[in-house]
Amino acid sequence: MEFTNLLNASVARIERALDRHVPPAATLPPRLHQAMRYSLEAGGKRLRPVLVLAAAERFSTAGAADPLPAAVAIECIHTYSLIHDDLPCMDNDDLRRGRPTVHKAFDEATALLAGDALLTHAFALLATAYAAQPALAVALVQELGDAAGSRRLIGGQMADLLAEKKTDATAAGLEFIHLNKTAAMIEAALVMGGRCGGADESQVTALRTAGRHLGLAFQIIDDILDVTSDSATLGKTVGKDARADKTTYVKLHGLDAARRMAHEQTEAALAALRSLPGDPAFLTALVRSMETRIK
Ligand code: GRG
């Protein structure tokens, strides 16, 4: 099967698993569960869960675990972070995944609670789905907890908010923000997939390195698209960074250098993935497809 068909099949598996592993919209209180599903079901590229499945597939260890609950857990965390990021007290956005943001479609309190509920659900799901493999359950909870915690996702978001008020942004400061706000979840996706597949510690290190480079590439590409793409294509507000005079890779280095940096990070990610067993075709094509978005 060619890459696009494989990607569509992977996304379809993830959509079905999201439906299966997240409480139904009619669960009491329905308004909360509708808001959780409103955002989850709006789509999105599903990049992080696709990475979980793709990483797991590189291993064919006896006793490998089903990576789908881990894929759902990371999408729940990612979606919560988007809901909260869109709130008026943060990025104050009206459009996400091609739809009005959760606080616009519902209200602010519901958006806050829907984000909280998705965050909490992710860990309950990991503990429940992997209960029969306690060592794996602990490793997955640890990985996702670290990636989503105060030193990484939330810390990166805090640093990003603080940086908005500063005029002396540096490349190192920008890298701190993006290694944590963006790359942490991409790194966790690859590592969690590897852990489900039965990767050993040196393979987990390779996945972590690849995730770090891929995460930086993803952010640089996101900064480029904010300048070169449009809201209809991306399903979210564009041009916001420039209007807010926000420090981005494009502002700091210019468009050409940013494109070059995205390419270098993409190649570094691919180099780290080369040591892994299994068929490299899908994961390689997936990594390359991210860079193709800016070509
Ligand atoms: C509120 C703790 C907290 C964190 C928010 C996700 C986030 C951190 C902020 C969103 C703003 C932003 C530009 C983040 C960088 C990561 C990023 C580009 C997220 C969007 O991910 P996509 O493009 O979204 O994969 P879809 O909708 O396709 O899943």
Give the model confidence (pLDDT) of 125-134 as tens digits.
999 999 999 9
Interval 249-264 mean pLDDT: 93
Tell me how far the alpha carbon of residue 81 lies from the centroid of ligand 1, in angstroms: 7
Q: Which of 252, 265, 93 is nearest to 179 (CA)?
A: 265
Q: How high is the pLDDT of residue 60?
A: 75
Kindly state if the Cβ of 153 falls inside 6 Å of ligand 1.
Answer: yes
Give residue 274's domain range: 2-289
Ligand 1 mutation pick, 11, 47, 181, max ligand atoms within 8 A of CB: 181
CA triplet 278, 218, 155: central angle to 5 degrees?
A: 110
CA distance 169 to 154: 19
Q: How many domains does the structure of the chain reveal?
A: 1
Kindly state if the Cβ of 206 falls inside 6 Å of ligand 1.
Answer: no
The CA-based dihedral angle spanning residues 100, 105, 106, 110, taken in that order and rounded to the nearest 10 degrees: -10
Amino acid present at 75: E
In a domain, 294, yes or no: no
Q: How high is the pLDDT of residue 43?
A: 85
What is the radius of gyration, based on Cα positions, of the chain? Answer: 18
Interval 117-128 mean pLDDT: 98
In a domain, 295, yes or no: no
Kindly state if the Cβ of 47 falls inside 6 Å of ligand 1.
Answer: yes
- Tokens for 161, please give them: 């908010």
In a domain, 130, yes or no: yes
Q: Tens digit of pLDDT for each residue in 90-110? A: 999 999 999 999 999 999 999
> What is the dihedral sign for C-alpha 235, 258, 248, 159?
positive
Q: How high is the pLDDT of residue 1?
A: 65
Q: Which of 268, 167, 175 is nearest to 223 (CA)?
A: 175
CATH code, 198:
1.10.600.10
Q: How high is the pLDDT of residue 281?
A: 96
pTM for the structure as a whole: 0.95
Q: Assign 100 to helix, strand or coil.
A: strand
In a domain, 154, yes or no: yes
